[in-house]
Homo-oligomer: A and B are copies of this chain.
Amino acid sequence: MRNANHRLTLRSRPVGLAGPENFAEDFAPIRAPEPGEVLVESMLISIDPAMRVWISENPGYVPRIEIGEVMRAGGIGRVIESRADGLAVGDLVQARLGWQSHPTLPGSEVQKLDLSLGSADDWVGPLGMTGLTAYFGMRDVGRIRPGETVLVSGAGGGVGQLAGQIAGIEACRVVGIAGGPEKCAFLTNELGFDAAIDYKAASDLTADIARACPDGVDVFYDNVGGPTLDAAIANLRIGGRVVICGRISQTAASELYGIRNLGQLIGKRARMEGFVVFDYHDRYAEARTWISAHLREGRLRQRLHVIEGLERAAEGLSMLFRGENTGKLVVSVNSCRD
């Protein structure tokens, strides 16, 4: 189907977790670029927790995706036809490709990859939104300082694996929370985390965190929310900070978990803060320079969890919420390897 644009559009708004039943697959004609546009062949498409928010009734901070619309997604592709200045056939680019094999996009919304900073794989992870989210969340929101103890939830995921390593590079002691012994071994053996807590094996997560962080937690980088957040607050030190990056445990929960330990923020003089990476747009270049330098030195690594085939993207979204990925989850679009 090289001559069709393979697409997944939103069929229905999910109740609870999203899955294949919420998306419709089709093959639309490829649209030739108008002046100023490019035709891109999708290569790697990012699967992110925020996607579940975008397809909800009221996403809040971004426009929702309408029924029948191609699912929104960032990714990496290659220009195969260009009528836009500064973009040539063969260029690797990043853009909001969507869940489709052959998007036609305004050149102004397509960014040519600077391959001197890293590979296409790097650009879908550490140099992309995932890495920028880890960088600004940990450094600017968390304001980590050398010697501090940093706890990361969802540490085996795309943002978590990078957030923890960034804290380690800044001379923090880093403890990750992840599900299952394999993810925990990945954190400590491959990524250099100082310790890992398997929340699936925990009978008392609060006590497990206390054991792994005997002096308490200075910064908690939270991707998970729910009971994990309560357990982390209970272990915060005076002057502690909680970076609310995500709350994957609650995104599709039928009933939200109520956080009970907030009162501890008073005596602990603690701060809890949410953020959206787009607000740091003016500083992406600064972050990418830093990230690229540490990729080159081998001090910052990522694992990619690759799902083969665009048609499996919705299945990927389910996997993400079930915690079945280790590392950054992406879909490899077949078309680019035909």
Q: Interface on A for B, CB 8 Å cutoff?
A: 59-61, 225, 229, 238, 244-247, 250, 256-260, 262-276, 279
Who on chain B is nearest to A259 by CB? B259
Would you call the interface of chain A mostly helix, strand, loop, or mixed?
Answer: loop
Among B245, B256, B264, B267, point to the contact of A266 (Cβ < 8 A).
Answer: B245
Least distance between A151 CB and chain B CB atoms (Å) = 17
Who on chain B is nearest to A255 by CB? B260
Within the assembled complex, what's the spacing in Å between the Cα atoms of A247 and B265? 11
Least distance between A312 CB and chain B CB atoms (Å) = 28
Among B59, B267, B274, point to the contact of A269 (Cβ < 8 A).
Answer: B274
Q: How many copies does the complex hold?
A: 2
Within the assembled complex, what's the spacing in Å between the Cα atoms of A107 and B20? 75
Q: Please list 7 pairs of residues, one from A and one from B, whose beta carbons are closer than 8 Å in the complex, sorted by A's number.
A: A60-B264, A225-B263, A247-B263, A257-B258, A266-B275, A269-B273, A271-B273
For A266, the chain B residues whose CB sits under 8 A away are 61, 244-247, 274-276
Least distance between A335 CB and chain B CB atoms (Å) = 34
For A267, the chain B residues whose CB sits under 8 A away are 59-61, 274, 276
Least distance between A325 CB and chain B CB atoms (Å) = 21
Within the assembled complex, what's the spacing in Å between the Cα atoms of A256 and B269? 20
